[in-house]
Chain A
């Protein structure tokens, strides 16, 4: 089984993010890592691909984004594709989806595209659906379990109440939750082997996309901190407390 995994290099998830003068996250010159959420989709891909399958990791981003591919390759991925092009700076979700869809189309004979549910830096949670739409493929989100049997994809889709059992034909685009698996840790051997694995670097023109295709459709006009929550009311008298709580809940029409 041949699987494409969409991965993202994000500023150090343990650190404090910085915003640039263009109101966008500073991505260059800061320490970064493979999005921890994507490690679950890489792990799912490695488990599904088995010993005869192939896992291709795809990312778009500045030079340092190759770090995301390296991590995935050292976990066991087979090859990497890095889309690196100055014209993609400030790309929004739609542009990113166009680029990633164009890369996926070039992967002959792929069976499945996996991605994280949402990125840990941008949190839009819309990119995989946009990619599916552009590729005209079915899309299953929030997979907590992914299996393939007789050429059909079987997914347990996490819901608020439990999970849905979903089946769909291949190829498809699936987003994998953090509950799906425990990602493996790259070993020294894996890290050394990753250096020998094929890695393609592609530009926008290599993908056959025009300047118009990669022109951002959104502009960030400004940025403001989230307003701090007002301090709550503290009731210290234990005699008074139950009555006040009931009063508050009644007023809020909760009871």
Chain B
């Protein structure tokens, strides 16, 4: 058993670190005041998108996508390492320059589109010229995703979609949406749900309400389909098996959300350790008190364990496995872990931890959603329990 990170990946990470330091950090510092005030303007988003296009040119942004559509064909492990590195930097703009686990970025599920549509839809996403969204969740179907009500009916040479999606990340901005709809009411998850690629501006496709979350952003939106017409060829994969392929790619991507949690938690441990050395109370650094030492020791331990689980999951996917249990374990463990680490970080920073201008408050708020999105902690436990035969 070899736990060493392959040299190629170490070199790729070193190159990516140079990119973060030389390209991303100056932009981050330019907008330091706004970031401190937790403001994210349209101008900042444009700056982030420019960084993203540069990252795409260099092959970082969509490294996880196959070479045939302009990606690098980077393995799951290599991609997870990149995601961890980006999150470890603690840079707000770091989230722009890597595809996974951002649902705006090209998703391998698109490779199930007919090949002649790849240049039209997939390649611009890989070049970061366009963005997408993943429209599965509905007001009446969150965790119980197979209960979706949006329907698709084939009429002549077009699919007619009707229904409403909500909490769709990047829904308002996406150039294309991967939309899941019922094509056979009786079969549902067993051959009755199909995925479609719907272009922004398709007749009958309306963006509804922008939804603001506790993280402070308004990146979620409602999508409404009213007799929305979609070309017949825009079906992704096989008729009726959209749900299965959606779940397959959600599972395949669990290592990325896991790696992001590891990176964020690693960043928090690092800044908290430094703070514990610098901050003095009663004549000595707070890091000399066991109360603080234990919090940091627990966090460091949990980051290490989560990292090993994540790399193992990524490796399993690279072996061609379909690791349902391990995917759920990583999603559950790492999202809960980063919340505990963020909670301790606020505690270690004390009053400074509560201030929006401090370095941990925004992270504490933001990581909370990770226990909900892409399968709640409870759903992950259900899946793990099912793997035990319960």
Could you tell me which A residues sit within 8 Å of B by CB distance? 14, 33, 70-71, 74, 185-189, 191-192, 194-195
Q: Once the chains are docked, how many angstroms separate the CA of A194 from the CA of B19?
A: 19
With both chains docked as a complex, state the minimum distance between the C-beta of B66 and any C-beta of chain A, in angstroms: 13
Contact (Cβ within 8 A) A185 B15 = yes
Contact check: which of B7, B21, B63 meets A188 at CB < 8 Å? Answer: B63
* Count, chain B residues at interface, CB 8 A: 16
Contact (Cβ within 8 A) A188 B74 = yes
Contact (Cβ within 8 A) B59 A187 = yes
Could you tell me which B residues sit within 8 Å of A by CB distance? 7-8, 11-12, 14-16, 18-19, 21, 58-59, 63, 72, 74, 78
Contact check: which of B8, B12, B18, B78 meets A195 at CB < 8 Å? Answer: B8
Interface of B is mostly: helix
User: With A187-B59, A189-B59 in contact, is A71–B72 under 8 Å at CB?
Assistant: no
Contact (Cβ within 8 A) B11 A74 = yes
Q: Which residues of A contact B7 (CB under 8 A)?
A: 70
Q: Once the chains are docked, how many angstroms separate the CA of A124 from the CA of B358?
A: 40
Contact (Cβ within 8 A) B14 A71 = yes
Contact (Cβ within 8 A) A192 B8 = yes
Contact (Cβ within 8 A) B72 A185 = no
Write 16 A-B pairs (CB below 8 A) sorted by A numbering.
A70-B11, A185-B15, A185-B16, A185-B18, A186-B11, A186-B12, A186-B14, A186-B15, A187-B58, A188-B12, A188-B63, A188-B72, A188-B74, A191-B12, A191-B15, A194-B11
Apart from A14-B21, A188-B78, 15 more pairs, CB < 8 Å: A70-B11, A71-B11, A71-B14, A185-B18, A185-B19, A185-B58, A186-B11, A186-B12, A186-B15, A187-B59, A188-B8, A188-B12, A189-B72, A191-B11, A192-B8
Q: Once the chains are docked, how many angstroms separate the CA of A7 from the CA of B19?
A: 20
Q: Closest 8 interchain pairs by CB?
A: A186-B15, A188-B72, A191-B11, A187-B59, A185-B15, A185-B58, A185-B19, A191-B8
- Closest residue on chain B to residue A34 by CB atoms: B14
Q: Which of B8, B15, B78 has the most CB of A within 10 A?
A: B15
Q: Once the chains are docked, how many angstroms separate the CA of A192 from the CA of B12?
A: 10
Q: Which residues of B contact A71 (CB under 8 A)?
A: 11, 14
Q: Which residues of A contact B16 (CB under 8 A)?
A: 185
Q: Which residues of B contact A74 (CB under 8 A)?
A: 11, 15
With both chains docked as a complex, state the minimum distance between the C-beta of B268 and any C-beta of chain A, in angstroms: 19
Q: Which of B12, B19, B63, B72 has the most CB of A within 10 A?
A: B12
Q: Once the chains are docked, how many angstroms separate the CA of A79 from the CA of B300?
A: 41
With both chains docked as a complex, state the minimum distance between the C-beta of A185 and any C-beta of chain B, in angstroms: 5
Q: Which residues of A contact B15 (CB under 8 A)?
A: 74, 185-187, 191
With both chains docked as a complex, state the minimum distance between the C-beta of A64 and any C-beta of chain B, in angstroms: 12
Q: Once the chains are docked, how many angstroms separate the CA of A191 from the CA of B42?
A: 36
Q: Once the chains are docked, how many angstroms separate the CA of A46 from the CA of B364?
A: 46
